[in-house]
Structure 1
Amino acid sequence: MDYLEMIRAVPAHRTALIEDSNCYTYGSIVRDADEIRHQSDLLDPGLEWIDEASVYGQLIQFLAYSGTNKVPVIISRETTRRPIPGSPVPSTACMGVLTSGTTGIPKIWFRTFESWHSFFPTQNHIFGINSSSRMLVHGSLAFTGNLNMYLSLMSEGASAITCSPVYPPAWNQAMVDYQANGVYLIPSKLRLLARTASECNPYIKTIVSGSQSLGLGDIRLLRTAYPNNQCTLYYGASELSFVSFIRDSQMNDDPACVGLPFPGINIMIKNNEISVDTPYRALGLPTPCSVGDMGYTGADGYLYLLGRKNNVYNIHGRKISASLIEHALMALDEVDEAAVTLEHGALTAYVVLNPQSEGTPAYLLMEQLKQRLNPYELPRRIIYTKELPKNSSGKPVPSLLSAADPH
């Protein structure tokens, strides 16, 4: 069994993908993927790098090679150099997925077909995805979350809707034009989507998000634009797949809260480091496994994520989590995005204000932070910026931030 055989079982006339007004059925995807597979030299095993601009181009090549001697790896067009695997390609691998964490340097992990496919029924049930789903998704399939979402939708015979421009008004229009009933976007894109909605859309029933924090202010914003939605935030990693999730109705004032484990997943915390026991991990990883994320279990039983171990700084003998400060900033109504870095021995917070709060003095944010953080956790300064540098998955890359004049 492979992903091409999976979608071959879906009725050929059903719509699989709408990209920039082009409609592709399951039948057309199978036909085009079959043509690539039959024309390719599949005898010699190895990696097959996929560098295509369109989602459709990425998808049909992935489907053509997955399950053959060639192991497909979709790379972002922003990737300046191809990652080198740390080990030989396993014989059971059906794909390679990339993760860059916060360093911007891609790493490659290999997965079996079963490591994702066997979990699709569980995740689709939790996310509210079924054969009638029509999900808006944006971005390259080089982002592991997007690739997983497309394949999970196709396991149900559902439809994905996407637009190539980074232009949220066009996303909202596509949702109306093609009768979307769900959305999968990272939080920073979700905020842009909701703010550019010209009118409320009552047809959106499910919103799925991950990779960044999501707060109650964001939930209120989404509820205004899409009043009938249920939002689910998940925590996961390319190496581990899905780890925990939380519904909007369960969220509290702390954006670090990422809920309870998915069924079949066990979470352990030792010395504030999160380890995960999961059968859905990438090949070659031990179990339990840690990707270096720090966190704790709260009194409510929920998992709270404090970010990567290398994002915890030792300042004057105290260990300070940059993610903790970022979460405190993100909980403020004025803030859209935040990233904290260590510069010259002190913490600097880079902040993107939401459009309604432009012109807010930085000292007002600092005064609010004093109510949420210990004195030694406060950043020395807050710098406003129009946007944060991000990797291909949409995660901020703090190492690319440079000092600027404070505001």
Structure 2
Amino acid sequence: MNYYNLLQQQVKEHPDKLFFVVDDTEYTYADFQKLTDELSNDVTGIHPGDDVLLLADTPALQLAAFLALQHLGARPILAHKDMGAELDAVQHENELQGLVQVTKQKGADGTEGAPDVSFVPTNLPQQPHAELDILGVLSSGSTGTPKVMYRTYDSWAGFFPTQDEIFSVGEDTVMFLHGSLSFTGNTNSLLSVLYEGGTIVTSSHMRCHRWAKLLHHYDVNCIYLIPTKLVLLAEALHGVDTFPGVCTLFTGSQLLTPPMITDIMELLPNAQLILYYGASELNYITYAIVDSPYRPPENLGHPFPGVSISIQDGLIYVDTKYHVSGVEIPFSVHDTGSINEKGELIFGGRTGAFVNRGGVKLNLLKLETELQSLPGIREAVALPTKDETRGEGVEVFVVKEPDIPEADVRMTIRHGIPNAEMPDKITFVDEMPLNDCGKVDTERLENRKE
């Protein structure tokens, strides 16, 4: 079983139902199978069992090519558009069989033409898989060349009934999400809607007012966005628009501060807000119903049904049967935390998100949360710095409210942050650069030009 087979099943049940919307382009389930089959016919040189990196221009082409490769018996691995020179290293270090590229084409009259499909093989031999893997995902948040982690069909689809009940995803769901499918949160959410026979709405553009039109036009009732994008949407539409028809919002990957929650609740007055904690290796781990802006942001709630957590030497360990192939359970992604008397997970930060400054251990996640709770600050990112003389330090990047002077924000930080946590340097930026997954691109922040 794979996700192309799942698409076939949905086509048999409701071929004319709206499945996938990208801006002003609509696909029924039958339309999308037609697009997928066309791409299957256009790819040459692929063999069953090949592990293939996939790079495509648009959300529709990403998904269609992903399903087409499964139809051909290959294992697709969606690549980030911003990988650039890393593409070759990913293929060779992970012993992949090649790269499929799908490029959107336009005719001389400006109308969209048939996509251009190419396959460049590496001529590396296929590697055996101990599990019935059908796709690969790229590791995130690590240094060096991203590693490919493989998944069976059941490792995601087997958990859909559980997560979909909690996220209120079903046949009547019209879900809005945004960003590359190379971000596993997007892929998982989309495939869960395919599993239920619902509808996905998305956009190729990073324009919140365009998103708002889509939300209204298609009566979106469920949203999956990471906090960074939720903040952008709430700020763009503050005092201008709300979406009372949205019943569920689920989000993760970053903690939610009180100002964020307040803005989101105003934007989505009737939505149940669910904050989840998960990992690319392990699916969803815990979730919390957010019913107040003033809840502790580090409280990540209770484990999902069938998932158990424990703490060993300060690290979070997870026991679940839904995970990437080849990992030993219980597994830790090296996040720190604790479990309170109610059985809720209290997040302590990632092991790499600490700085030892003059013998004092600083939690960068805690510092970011404190900064974002201060008036006048929209976003804050804390990054470690190194000085040959002084050792480790902290630089924070701040997006301030436009009508507040920088000097006032600096003064607010001096009075609002304990002396032991005071950053060594404060840098103001107009906006946080985002990577292809929609997360803050810390490398671009570090390499910025003054």
TM-score normalized with structure 1 length: 0.91
Q: Which sections of structure 1, spanning at least 5 residues, go unmatched?
A: none
Q: Does 1:19 align with 2:5?
A: no
**Which residue type is aligned with residue 7 of structure 2?**
I
Q: Alignment partner of 1:310: what SS?
A: coil
Aligned to 2:107: none
Q: Does 1:169 align with 2:209?
A: yes
Aligned to 2:434: 390
Aligned to 2:5: 5
Aligned to 1:361: 409
| Shift in alpha-carbon separation, 1:199–1:395, aligned structure 2, 3 A | closer
Aligned to 2:345: 303
Q: Alignment partner of 1:390: what SS?
A: coil
Q: Check the 8 A contact 2:228/2:439 in 1, yes or no.
A: no
Candidates 270, 274, 283, aligned match of 1:228: 270
Candidates 233, 237, 244, aligned match of 2:286: 244
Q: Alignment partner of 2:133: what SS?
A: coil
Deviation at 1:169, TM superposition (A): 1.0
1:147-296 to 2 correspondence within 5 Å?
Answer: 147-197=187-237, 198-249=240-291, 252-296=294-338
Aligned to 1:324: 366
**Which residue type is aligned with residue 363 of structure 1?**
M
Q: Does 1:352 align with 2:399?
A: yes
Separation in structure 1 between the aligned mates of residue 249 and residue 405 of structure 2, nearest angstrom? 28
Q: Larger radius of gyration, structure 1 or 2?
A: 2
Separation in structure 2 between the aligned mates of residue 351 and residue 124 of structure 1, nearest angstrom? 36
Aligned to 1:33: 36
| Shift in alpha-carbon separation, 1:404–1:48, aligned structure 2, 3 A | closer
1:70-85 to 2 correspondence within 5 Å?
Answer: 70-80=74-84, 81-82=86-87, 83=90, 84-85=93-94
Deviation at 1:379, TM superposition (A): 2.1
**Between the two proteins, what is the percent identity of the paired residues?**
31
Separation in structure 2 between the aligned mates of residue 356 and residue 176 of structure 1, nearest angstrom? 30
201-210 vs 213-222, which moves further: 213-222
Deviation at 1:367, TM superposition (A): 1.4
Q: Check the 8 A contact 1:134/1:179 in 2, yes or no.
A: yes
**Which residue type is aligned with residue 253 of structure 2?**
S
**Which residue type is aligned with residue 184 of structure 2?**
T
Deviation at 1:182, TM superposition (A): 1.7
Deviation at 1:357, TM superposition (A): 5.0
**Which residue type is aligned with residue 378 of structure 1?**
M
Separation in structure 1 between the aligned mates of residue 233 and residue 320 of structure 2, nearest angstrom? 33
Aligned to 1:94: 134
Q: Check the 8 A contact 1:100/1:391 in 2, yes or no.
A: no
93-102 vs 203-212, which moves further: 93-102
Separation in structure 1 between the aligned mates of residue 95 and residue 289 of structure 2, nearest angstrom? 37
Aligned to 2:102: none
Q: Which sections of structure 2, spanning at least 5 residues, go unmatched?
A: 97-126
Deviation at 1:329, TM superposition (A): 1.8
RMSD of Structure 2 on Structure 1 (CA): 2.4
78-87 vs 117-126, which moves further: 78-87
Deviation at 1:251, TM superposition (A): 6.6
Deviation at 1:275, TM superposition (A): 1.4
Separation in structure 1 between the aligned mates of residue 138 and residue 341 of structure 2, nearest angstrom? 35
Q: Check the 8 A contact 1:18/1:161 in 2, yes or no.
A: yes
Deviation at 1:70, TM superposition (A): 1.1
Q: Check the 8 A contact 2:262/2:293 in 1, yes or no.
A: no
Q: Check the 8 A contact 2:40/2:71 in 1, yes or no.
A: no
| Shift in alpha-carbon separation, 1:133–1:356, aligned structure 2, 3 A | farther
Deviations 1:330-361 (A, max 9, x none): 33343332221222222222122244656442
